[in-house]
């Protein structure tokens, strides 16, 4: 057997290297670098088109702190003429106002500006030429990023040519509920001196975003881009504009991102607009959207659960929960289930797969007074910007329906391990139901021996191999088959449902539980039982350790005359499930492996009647566990460690129980020995571990 493990590491290139603490001094301003500050400048150069006298153009530069400590900016300066103005704003500002840095040839920046981690400083550079001979220059500043102490941003003025200007450059739809649509507009303007030819327009990223230009999809019909301003001439004329309508239609309440990519004959061939939606905003989802009680018993409290989920990137605040319409007194909220208001649910963590929305459940009580239909309304007020008020309709009707009654044919069974028991609920009744019987029968395992994995099935694929299972139990039939896989006690309960969805036993239909007790007791002289738990076997969300693939641990049982564990003829295991021991040709003194489980969890059982006298043989029987396969048989990967539990019964009584973790394929646990003589019958612990089965 061979196994392989693969590890991969993704290296992400960063534009700047995070630096250590340092100090920068200049122009009487001192900046102390705090740990891991780092900056990124976008763009690294500003280009203005040739702008006519009396007109103006604006460009932006962002200085983003991509480090973990505060970024300090100081001594911003420029050699630009008075035809340029520089203004600045921090993303942390509430007012969004722009401060003056350089205007009319005078630098008034001064001081030190702090940019917290993840935030940015934006420079707005305005160009209003007074003559046709305007030239560029550069903007400089100092920072506490040791890799970028002195930063220079060149500013140039380009004569002629087309140039595309997009407004805005970031489109944030904020919160749009699933199933709804929202539209935003991007204006594309040619601020150059020559016609701009559009060569393509597309969306990269989420497919929830779509585009329209002049009512046409530019991806499906690129011809709409040939004359986007509709002046009869090819391309977008200088100073002309056209609009791009961006539609966002989410199919789920989750964050969506994208880029609108404009491809043209601009000197920058591809310009983009960032799209954001359903990001870091509160989001509410209520399940179900309409609370239906169906037919409910008159004069009794019928309860249904309403679940409020947080589905956004920010915490959801619950401001109010009110029953605004109680249906003339038949609906009520269970005060014990209401949260204190205001209350808050955490943001949805989408790093977990699958994401599990934080939730809060409340209970609505319906107490009908007649057979009439009733309607009500619950209103939930939150800080979800798209759905600040959610209305949940309540519907139900009263009925004089009589409750069904769950009954079982037999309440107790004493059986052998590996027997099959028929669970029979056919005595159940429903006085006013079809044929006087319930319409659904649901079996639930209340308790079972540790390690048991058996579940009720409709019938077994092969009754001679019940461990292979069968199709799930049909709730429409009153009977089910159950495989008693381990020694011990099982409690299985029956619930029945009538044609009006009344459940018995329940709070509405009160009755004593209809339960079956199964007691499995071995009758063999020696009964060895093994189960195992492998946390890494998570391939199925329903029965992760009993599906088609799983870890394989084998039970070994060794004869006293065996020279070693490699003596296969004297070893009872999957490859020799019923060796001829004791008197040759006699079958009632041979051990038997009754189950060989190969897909995780077990059990595996070995039974032996009429053991030989170990005192006369000079040695004892021995029990072992072999980790035959820890890797996936039907895929790539390894299940990892498995906790093996061994139980040994002598004369039907539990004489020994222990567990041990096996780490990898071929690991071997020599568990115990069994002494069997007329005056001495006992289990002796060994608990010895080997990386390979010993010879």
Tally the domains of the chain. Answer: 5
Lowest mean pLDDT among 13-22, 233-242, 268-277, 365-374: 13-22
Indicate if the pLDDT at residue 509 is higher than 90: no
| pLDDT of amino acid 635 | 58
Backbone angles phi, psi at 335, to 5 degrees: -60, -30
Return the structure tokens found at 436.
């006087």
**Longest CA–CA separation in the chain, Å:** 118
Tally the C-alpha atoms within 13 A of residue 152's C-alpha that lie toward its C-beta. Answer: 6
Q: Which residues contact 144 (CB under 8 A, 6 or more apart)?
A: 22, 23, 24, 31, 32, 33, 34, 37, 71, 72
Point out the domain boundary residue: 158, 189, 207: 158
* 14 vs 96: which has the higher pLDDT: 96
Return the structure tokens found at 152.
């220079």
Return the structure tokens found at 535.
């946390």
Residue at 198 is within a domain:
yes
- Please, which residues bridge with residue 450 across strands? none
In this structure, the answer to whether residues 153 and 181 fall within a common structural domain is no
Indicate if the pLDDT at residue 301 is higher than 80: yes
User: What SS3 string covers 510-575?
Assistant: CCCCEEEEEEECCCCCEEEEEEEECCCCCCCCCCCCCCCCCCEEEEEEECCCCCCCCCHHHEEECC
In this structure, the answer to whether residues 512 and 547 fall within a common structural domain is no
Its domain, for residue 475, covers: 412-520
d(CA 426, CA 410): 11
From 263, 79, 75, 270, select the one nearest 156 (Cα to Cα). Answer: 79
In this structure, the answer to whether residues 71 and 213 fall within a common structural domain is no
Mean pLDDT value of segment 565-585:
93
CATH, residue 222 = 2.60.40.10
| CB contact at 8 A, 284 and 309 | yes
Residue at 11 is within a domain:
no
Residue at 1 is within a domain:
no
Let me know if 566 is exposed, middle or buried by CB neighbors in 10 A (0-12, 13-18, 19+).
exposed
Handedness of CA 417, 418, 419, 422 (dihedral sign): positive
The strand pair at 23-26 and 29-32 is best described as antiparallel
- Please, which residues bridge with residue 306 across strands? 362
| pLDDT of amino acid 49 | 72
Indicate if the pLDDT at residue 87 is higher than 80: yes
pLDDT interval class at 637 (50, 70, 90): confident
Indicate if the pLDDT at residue 539 is higher than 60: no
N-to-C CA span, the chain: 18
Mean pLDDT value of segment 352-371:
91
| pLDDT of amino acid 634 | 62
From 424, 426, 428, select the one nearest 404 (Cα to Cα). Answer: 428
The strand pair at 604-608 and 592-593 is best described as antiparallel
Residue at 543 is within a domain:
yes
d(CA 544, CA 632): 13
| pLDDT of amino acid 499 | 86
| Token pair 């509709």: residue | 230
In this structure, the answer to whether residues 677 and 531 fall within a common structural domain is yes
| CB contact at 8 A, 326 and 348 | no
Mean pLDDT value of segment 611-636:
88
pLDDT in tens, 24-79: 333 333 444 446 679 999 998 888 877 778 888 899 999 999 888 899 999 999 99
* 637 vs 573: which has the higher pLDDT: 573
Lowest mean pLDDT among 40-49, 206-215, 315-324: 40-49
| pLDDT of amino acid 492 | 97
Q: Which residues contact 9 (CB under 8 A, 6 or more apart)?
A: none
Indicate if the pLDDT at residue 133 is higher than 90: no
| DSSP helix/strand/coil, 222 | helix
From 478, 490, 482, select the one nearest 463 (Cα to Cα). Answer: 482
Taking phi over 0 as left and psi of -120 to 50 as alpha, with beta for the rest, 328 belongs to left
| pLDDT of amino acid 543 | 45
From 575, 691, 526, 558, select the one nearest 623 (Cα to Cα). Answer: 558
Residue at 440 is within a domain:
yes
Tally the C-alpha atoms within 13 A of residue 21's C-alpha that lie toward its C-beta. Answer: 3
* Residue 649, CA distances (Å) to 277, 432, 645, 668, 679 in order: 63, 50, 13, 22, 17
Average pLDDT for the chain: 87
In this structure, the answer to whether residues 80 and 115 fall within a common structural domain is yes
d(CA 528, CA 555): 9
d(CA 347, CA 344): 9
The strand pair at 642-650 and 526-533 is best described as antiparallel
* % of the chain at pLDDT higher than 70: 92
Indicate if the pLDDT at residue 294 is higher than 90: no
Let me know if 395 is exposed, middle or buried by CB neighbors in 10 A (0-12, 13-18, 19+).
middle
Task: Count other Cβ atoms within 10 Å, centred on residue 403.
Answer: 23
> How much of the chain is in helix, strand and coil states, percent to nearest 5?
5, 45, 50
**Interior/surface letters 48-64, b for 16+ CB within 10 angstroms, e for the rest:** bbbbeeeeebebebebb
Backbone angles phi, psi at 231, to 5 degrees: -95, 5
Mean pLDDT value of segment 560-589:
92
| pLDDT of amino acid 428 | 97
Indicate if the pLDDT at residue 540 is higher than 60: no
- Please, which residues bridge with residue 647 across strands? 529, 657
In this structure, the answer to whether residues 261 and 383 fall within a common structural domain is no
In this structure, the answer to whether residues 534 and 673 fall within a common structural domain is yes
Backbone angles phi, psi at 111, to 5 degrees: 70, -170
User: Which H or E element spans position 492?
Assistant: strand 488-497
Lowest mean pLDDT among 210-219, 269-278, 360-369, 544-553: 544-553
d(CA 291, CA 365): 11
| CB contact at 8 A, 621 and 524 | no
| DSSP helix/strand/coil, 78 | strand
d(CA 109, CA 100): 7
From 523, 675, 687, select the one nearest 614 (Cα to Cα). Answer: 675
| CB contact at 8 A, 396 and 373 | yes
In this structure, the answer to whether residues 130 and 184 fall within a common structural domain is no
Rounded to two decimals, what is the model's pTM? 0.47
From 544, 553, 556, select the one nearest 598 (Cα to Cα). Answer: 553
* Residue 134, CA distances (Å) to 50, 79, 86, 131 in order: 9, 13, 16, 6
∠ CA 329-332-333, nearest 5°, is 160
Indicate if the pLDDT at residue 528 is higher than 90: yes
Mean pLDDT value of segment 131-151:
89
| Token pair 């209809």: residue | 514
In this structure, the answer to whether residues 31 and 131 fall within a common structural domain is yes
Mean pLDDT value of segment 200-224:
94
Point out the domain boundary residue: 118, 139, 158: 158
**Interior/surface letters 419-458, b for 16+ CB within 10 angstroms, e for the rest:** eebebbbeebbbeebeeebbbbbbbeeeebbebbbbbbbe
In this structure, the answer to whether residues 153 and 169 fall within a common structural domain is no
In this structure, the answer to whether residues 152 and 218 fall within a common structural domain is no
In this structure, the answer to whether residues 361 and 449 fall within a common structural domain is no
| pLDDT of amino acid 302 | 87
Taking phi over 0 as left and psi of -120 to 50 as alpha, with beta for the rest, 679 belongs to alpha
Residue at 146 is within a domain:
yes
- Please, which residues bridge with residue 393 across strands? 377
d(CA 201, CA 220): 10
Tally the C-alpha atoms within 13 A of residue 567's C-alpha that lie toward its C-beta. Answer: 12
d(CA 460, CA 419): 13
Indicate if the pLDDT at residue 501 is higher than 80: yes
pLDDT in tens, 401-434: 888 999 999 999 999 888 899 999 999 999 888 8
d(CA 659, CA 329): 59
Point out the domain boundary residue: 520, 537, 565: 520
Indicate if the pLDDT at residue 604 is higher than 50: yes
DSSP 440: E
From 552, 571, 551, select the one nearest 560 (Cα to Cα). Answer: 571
pLDDT in tens, 429-448: 998 888 899 999 999 999 99
Task: Count other Cβ atoms within 10 Å, centred on residue 417.
Answer: 24
Residue at 143 is within a domain:
yes
Residue at 468 is within a domain:
yes
Tally the C-alpha atoms within 13 A of residue 649's C-alpha that lie toward its C-beta. Answer: 24
């Amino acid at each position: 057997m061979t196994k392989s493990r693969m590890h991969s590491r993704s290296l992400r290139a960063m534009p700047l290297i995070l630096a250590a603490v340092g100090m920068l001094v200049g122009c009487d301003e001192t900046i102390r670098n705090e740990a891991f500050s780092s900056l990124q400048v976008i763009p690294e150069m500003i280009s203005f088109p040739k702008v006519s006298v009396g007109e103006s153009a604006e460009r932006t530069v962002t200085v983003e702190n991509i480090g973990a400590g505060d970024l300090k900016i100081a001594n911003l300066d420029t050699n630009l003429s008075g035809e340029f103005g520089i203004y600045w704003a921090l993303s942390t500002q509430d007012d969004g106002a722009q401060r003056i840095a350089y205007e009319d040839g005078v630098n008034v920046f001064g001081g030190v500006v702090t940019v917290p981690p993840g935030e940015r400083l934006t420079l707005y550079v305005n160009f209003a030429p007074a003559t046709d001979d305007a030239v560029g220059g550069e903007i400089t500043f100092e920072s506490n990023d040791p890799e970028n102490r002195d930063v220079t941003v060149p500013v140039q003025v380009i004569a002629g040519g087309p140039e595309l200007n997009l407004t805005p450059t970031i489109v944030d739809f904020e919160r749009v509920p699933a199933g709804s649509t929202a539209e935003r507009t991007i204006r594309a303007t040619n601020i150059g001196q020559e016609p701009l030819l559009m060569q393509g327009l597309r969306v990269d990223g989420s497919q929830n975003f779509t585009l329209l230009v002049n009512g046409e999809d530019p991806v499906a019909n690129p011809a709409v881009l040939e004359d986007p301003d509709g002046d009869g001439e090819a391309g977008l004329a200088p100073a002309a504009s056209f609009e791009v309508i961006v539609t966002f239609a989410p199919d789920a309440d989750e964050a969506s991102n994208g880029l609108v990519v404009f491809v043209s004959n601009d000197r920058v061939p591809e310009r983009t607009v960032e799209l954001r939606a359903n990001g870091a905003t509160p989001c509410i989802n209520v399940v179900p959207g309409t609370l239906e009680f169906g037919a409910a018993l008159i004069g009794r409290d019928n309860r249904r659960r309403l679940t409020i989920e947080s589905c956004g990137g920010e915490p959801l605040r619950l401001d109010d929960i009110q029953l605004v319409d109680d249906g003339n007194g038949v609906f009520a909220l269970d005060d014990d289930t209401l949260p204190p208001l205001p209350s808050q649910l955490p943001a949805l963590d989408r790093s977990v797969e699958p994401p599990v929305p934080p939730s809060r459940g409340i209970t609505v009580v319906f107490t009908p007074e007649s057979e009439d239909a009733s309607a009500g309304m619950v209103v939930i007020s939150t800080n979800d910007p798209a759905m600040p008020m959610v209305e949940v309709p309540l519907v139900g009707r009263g009925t004089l329906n009589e409750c069904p009654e769950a009954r079982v044919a037999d309440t107790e069974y004493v059986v052998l391990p590996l027997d099959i028991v028929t669970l029979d609920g056919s005595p159940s009744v429903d006085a006013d139901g079809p044929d006087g019987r319930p319409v659904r029968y649901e079996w639930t395992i209340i308790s079972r021996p540790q390690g048991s994995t058996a579940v009720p099935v409709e019938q077994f694929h092969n009754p001679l191999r019940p461990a292979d299972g069968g199709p799930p139990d049909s709730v429409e039939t009153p009977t089910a088959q159950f495989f008693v896989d381990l020694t011990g006690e099982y409690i299985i309960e029956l619930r029945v449902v009538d044609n009006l969805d009344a459940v018995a036993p329940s709070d509405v239909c009160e009755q004593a539980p209809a339960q079956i007790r199964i007691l499995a007791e071995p009758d063999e002289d020696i009964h060895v039982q093994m189960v195992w738990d492998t946390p890494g076997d998570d391939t199925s969300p329903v029965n992760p350790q009993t599906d088609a693939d799983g870890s394989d641990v084998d039970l070994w049982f060794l004869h006293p005359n065996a020279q070693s564990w490699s003596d296969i003829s004297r070893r009872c295991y999957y490859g020799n499930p019923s060796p001829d021991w004791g008197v040759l040709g006699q079958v009632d003194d041979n051990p038997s492996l009754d189950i060989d489980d190969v897909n995780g969890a077990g059990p595996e059982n070995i039974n032996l009647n009429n053991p030989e006298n170990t005192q006369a043989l000079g040695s004892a029987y021995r029990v072992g566990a072999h980790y035959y396969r820890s890797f996936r048989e039907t895929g790539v990967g390894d299940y990892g460690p498995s906790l093996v539990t061994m139980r040994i019964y002598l004369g039907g009584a539990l004489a020994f129980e222990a567990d041990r973790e096996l780490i990898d394929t071929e690991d071997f646990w020599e568990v115990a020995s069994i002494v069997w003589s007329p005056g001495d019958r006992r289990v002796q612990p060994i608990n010895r571990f080997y990386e390979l089965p010993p010879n």
